[in-house]
Structure 1
Amino acid sequence: MRQTLMAFAALTTVLASCAPTSYSGYAKSGVTRETAALDDTACSVEANKLFPAATFTTTVYSGYHGGYGGYAGGYWGGYPGYWGGSHVQVRDANASMRAEHRADCMTLKGYAAVNHPICTDDQISGRKYAPIAGAPKPAPNICALRAKGGGVALIDLNKPL
């Protein structure tokens, strides 16, 4: 039982370390979030037209895994060797060019790339917040909160409801 609990704690720690710690977006003073989202979508569509997905797949074989012990039909302990499985890796050759074009497009529209930290449970501590209107620049009191139904909402920790 103790080993199970330790394994669960280790798995939880590993999964938590995979969670993002910040939300990347774009900021421009005087712009609503809706306008920022429309501009971002327009830049993404343009990037997708200029640099369409160019995916390449590669099958990676795991190879032969040799057995050990004196295996003879299962009588002497040990186990037989076996051929491992395989998996397919997919790579999009144009992904970095699309991302770069989108960033350049947003910069030309007057936006600045920003990173907002993800709100921690301690920061929220049971209080409710209204989403911020607009596309704010980073500040110590602004963080990103996962919205119900998906997406992200930026909140001002200095303004609870």
Structure 2
Amino acid sequence: MTHFSLALITISVLAACEYTPMYKVGASEQETNVTQAQCNTFAANTVPPMIITDRYPVYDNRDQIVGYRSEVYDVNEGRRHTAVRTCMQEQGFSRINVPFCKNEQLTGRDFTALQQSPPITDSVCAVRQPSGNHVLIDLNQSLN
């Protein structure tokens, strides 16, 4: 296994331990979603897709071209992501790392999702919902 592959696997495993949303203390889910939608629209309008198709020859064992393979990509995708992030930052949001709650922290206890974005403390963690969405809970605010 190459060093790059090992580093990529390590980063993937570490990334699975944290939720990394754009975050603003005091923002509601609705405010966050509206701001995200506005920034997505701004970025789409200012950095539209530029689709490029590259063709590469495919050779056989006699070094004869037997076909071509194509790769299609959007050269503006990175710039568009940067435009969204910059827009969100201008609205007071920043990227944060919130650890996922551990099973032992949740077992036998009921929590409700936080409605406003609180200051991040050691008692705040993220829970992955069956839908794939994430919510934040405060371990100090158990319902039972």
Normalised by the length of structure 1, the TM-score is 0.64
How many residue pairs end up in the alignment? 132
Q: Secondary structure at the match of 1:36?
A: helix
Deviations 1:88-142 (CA, angstroms, capped at 9, x unpaired): 5443211211111111111111223212122232332243211011223432211
Q: Residue 27 of structure 1 contacts residue 136 of structure 1 at CA under 8 Å; is this kept in 2? A: no
1:97 partnered with 2:93: no
Q: 1:51 to 1:142 in 2, by over 3 A?
A: same
Normalised by the length of structure 2, the TM-score is 0.70
> Is there any run of 5+ residues in structure 2 with no aligned partner, and where?
1-9, 62-67
Could you tell me which amino acid in structure 2 is paired with residue 111 of structure 1?
A: F
Supply the distance in 1 between the matched residues of 2:123 and 2:57 (Cα, whole angstroms): 50
Q: 1:18 to 1:107 in 2, by over 3 A?
A: closer
Q: 1:93 to 1:159 in 2, by over 3 A?
A: same
CA RMSD of aligned residues (A): 3.3
CA deviation after TM superposition for structure 1 residue 46, in Å: 0.9
In structure 2, the partner of 1:23 is 19
Aligned-pair identity (%):
25
Q: Residue 36 of structure 1 contacts residue 135 of structure 1 at CA under 8 Å; is this kept in 2? A: no
Could you tell me which amino acid in structure 1 is paired with residue 31 of structure 2?
A: T
1:122 partnered with 2:118: no
CA deviation after TM superposition for structure 1 residue 28, in Å: 2.4
Q: Which one has a bigger Cα radius of gyration? A: 1
Q: 1:57 to 1:110 in 2, by over 3 A?
A: same
> Is there any run of 5+ residues in structure 1 with no aligned partner, and where?
1-13, 66-85
In structure 2, the partner of 1:36 is 32
Supply the distance in 2 between the matched residues of 1:21 and 1:61 (Cα, whole angstroms): 41
